[in-house]
């Protein structure tokens, strides 16, 4: 891993305007889906992004890909702000930043053969692979993702979910990108197949030096694949740091609750104390005052209700909490600590 930042996101913000002002004027209402999120992706690095429905992780993905225009902030690719680029320039740059979607059933055109699916990006970017080489390149790509070169003539419906996701990955690789945004790329797959695709993504990263923004709600998968991790709640980053640090000693009460709630495949740990968060994620149109997490936080005090917390640095992590580093986690987190190797006797 070298230290060149390939991709930098600075204070990115995305507001959605809701409806028009009423008959009597009134203020335009808006929803801050992503609020001042920053992160850096280096070559060969994976940044994991976790959070629950509505926390803004998909909005963030769409915004950094410039599929949605951000309201503010910067997205730098090799130091160059891509948000200022005119449309034609942006179009050229897209080959470097690809995306793999969640649903391998709806993201591949059912009428196209795999050959056509993989060659189509070259219609837009003809310089990447000269026409004479394309046939061979399709075969290479298929081999790279663990399929057979002979699969090129088959249609998406002839493949299983895991195989289709491999095709989706091959298509992303066709343009030889440096950054791949994986938006819940393994979430729809069965456990045994999911492991294959996760291993494939890691192999490809080692071979090609790809940088991943890996968005998922499955915390164990994110733990496994990420070098750094970002935890979002209601559009904001509440905790960020090296994966090991965040998963071993989570500091933000929300991260603690999230990690505490994950079911652990080890019956010996089923009696551990688990935090059951009360209530649900608040409506982002009317976020709570002060710290957005305070209505559900066991540690909340008056300060939290009144003042939005600053980002504090605790060890290697950045935590958006007034009391970061001062709180004792209210849960039994031994399932995060050490291996007890269930089922490994075989």
Partner 1 sequence: MRAMQPYETLDAVPAPLLDIRDLRVSFDTPHGLVKAVGGVSWSLSPGETLGIIGESGSGKSVGLEAIMGLIKSPPGHVSGQVLFDGRDVLTMAERDRRQLRGEKIAMIFQDAMSALNPSLTVGTQIAEVYRLRRKCSQAEAERKAIELMDRVKIPSAKTRVGCYPHEFSGGMCQRVMIATALALNPQILIADEPTTALDVTVQRQIMTLLAELQREDGMALVLITHDLGLVAETVDRAMVMYAGRIVESGPVDALFETPTHPYTRGLIRSMPRLDGASGALHAIGGTPPAAGRMPRGCAFHPRCEQRVDRCLTERPNLRMVAKGQAAACHLAEETRHD
Residue numbers of the site for partner 1 (CB under 8 A)?
A: 52-53, 160-163, 190-196, 198-199, 202, 217, 219-221, 223-225, 243-244, 247-248, 257-259, 261-270, 274, 276-277, 280, 335-339, 341-346
Q: Which of 168, 123, 122 lies closest to 146 in space, CA to CA?
A: 168
Q: How would you classify residue 290: left for phi > 0, otherwise alpha for psi between -120 and 50, otherwise beta? A: left
Give the shortest CB-190-to-partner 1 separation in angstroms: 4
β 97-100/317-320 pair status: unpaired
**For partner 1, the closer CB: 18 or 136:** 18
- Report, in Å, the least distance between residue 218 CB and partner 1: 8
- Between the two ends of the chain, the Cα-to-Cα distance in Å is 35
- CB 132 → partner 1: shortest distance, Å? 35
Minimum CB distance to partner 1 smaller for 73 or for 253: 253
Q: In angstroms, how far is CA 216 from the centroid of its own chain?
A: 5
* CB closer to partner 1, 34 vs 331: 331
Alpha helices in the chain (DSSP H): 57-64, 87-93, 114-124, 134-144, 161-173, 191-208, 219-225, 243-248, 253-261, 302-306, 334-337
* Residue 220 CB, nearest approach to partner 1 (Å): 4
Nearer to partner 1, 79 or 267 (CB): 267
In what order do the strands lie in the sheet containing 72-77? 29-42, 5-18, 72-77, 80-81
Of 176 and 244, which CB lies nearer to partner 1 in the complex structure?
A: 244
| Shortest distance, position 8 Cβ to partner 1, whole Å | 27
Pick 53 or 123: Cβ nearer partner 1: 53
Q: Tell me the C-alpha to C-alpha distance, in Å, between residue 187 and each of 12, 103, 190, 336.
A: 26, 8, 8, 21
Task: Work out how close the CB of 73 gets to partner 1 at its nearest, in angstroms, rounded to a whole number.
Answer: 26
Residue (of 224, 136, 238) closest to 186 by Cα position: 224
Torsion of CA 82, 85, 88, 90, to 10 degrees: 10
Residue 157 Cβ vs partner 1, minimum distance, rounded to whole Å: 12
Cβ-based nearer residue to partner 1, 30 or 160: 160
């Amino acid at each position: 891993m070298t230290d060149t930042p390939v991709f930098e996101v600075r204070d990115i913000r995305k507001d959605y305007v809701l409806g028009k002002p009423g008959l009597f004027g009134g203020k335009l209402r808006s929803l801050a889906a992503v609020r001042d999120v920053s992160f850096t992706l280096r070559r060969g690095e994976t940044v994991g992004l976790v959070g629950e429905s509505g926390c803004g992780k998909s909005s963030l993905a769409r915004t950094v890909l410039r599929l949605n225009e951000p309201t503010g902030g910067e997205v730098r690719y090799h130091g160059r702000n891509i948000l200022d680029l005119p449309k034609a320039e942006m179009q050229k740059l897209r080959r470097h930043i690809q995306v793999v979607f969640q649903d391998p059933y709806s993201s591949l055109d059912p009428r196209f053969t795999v050959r056509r699916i993989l060659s189509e990006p070259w219609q837009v970017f003809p310089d990447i692979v000269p026409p004479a080489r394309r046939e061979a390149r399709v075969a290479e790509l298929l081999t790279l993702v663990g399929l057979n070169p002979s699969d090129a003539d088959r249609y998406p419906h002839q493949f299983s979910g895991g195989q289709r996701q491999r095709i989706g990955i091959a298509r992303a690789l066709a343009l030889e990108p440096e950054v791949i945004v994986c938006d819940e790329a393994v979430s729809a797959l069965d456990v045994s197949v999911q492991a294959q695709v996760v291993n494939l993504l890691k192999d490809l990263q080692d071979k090609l030096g790809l940088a991943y923004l890996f968005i998922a709600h499955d915390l164990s998968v994110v733990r496994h694949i990420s070098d750094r991790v970002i935890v979002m709640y209601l559009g904001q980053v509440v905790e960020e740091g090296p994966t090991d640090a965040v998963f071993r000693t989570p500091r933000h009460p929300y991260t603690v609750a999230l990690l505490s709630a994950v079911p652990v495949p080890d019956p010996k740990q089923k009696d551990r104390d688990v935090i059951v968060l009360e209530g649900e994620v608040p409506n982002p149109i009317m976020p709570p005052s002060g710290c957005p997490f305070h209505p559900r936080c066991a540690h909340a005090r008056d300060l939290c209700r009144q003042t939005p917390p600053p980002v504090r640095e605790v060890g290697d992590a950045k935590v958006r909490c007034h009391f970061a580093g001062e709180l004792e986690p209210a849960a039994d987190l031994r399932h995060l600590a050490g291996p007890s190797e269930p089922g490994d006797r075989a």
